[in-house]
Amino acid sequence: MTAPLTVLVVDDDARARAALVRALDDCDGLVAVGLDREQALRLAEGRGHVADAVVLDVPHVTARALGAVASLAAAGPLLVTSMSGAVEAPIRAAGAAAFVEKDGDADRLVAAISSHVRASVAHNAGDGGTDEGVAR
**85-98 pLDDT, tens digit each:** 999 999 999 999 99
Question: What is the distance between the alpha carbons of residues 38 and 75, in angstroms, rounded to a whole number?
Answer: 14
Q: Is residue 132 part of a domain?
A: no
Q: 99 — phi, psi (to 5°)?
A: -140, 140
Write out the residue range of the structural domain in which residue 84 sits.
5-124
How many folded domains does the chain comprise? 1
Q: Is residue 134 part of a domain?
A: no
Strand partners, 100: 81
Quick: pLDDT tens for 14-65.
999 999 999 999 998 999 999 999 999 999 887 778 899 999 999 999 999 9
Q: Is the pLDDT at 133 greater than 50, yes or no?
A: no
Given the DSSP bridges, would you call strands 5-10 and 30-35 parallel, antiparallel or unpaired?
A: parallel
Question: What is the distance between the alpha carbons of residues 28 and 37, in angstroms, rounded to a whole number?
Answer: 26
Question: What is the distance between the alpha carbons of residues 119 and 92, in angstroms, rounded to a whole number?
Answer: 18
Lowest mean pLDDT across 3-12, 14-23, 102-111, 126-135:
126-135
Q: Is residue 37 part of a domain?
A: yes
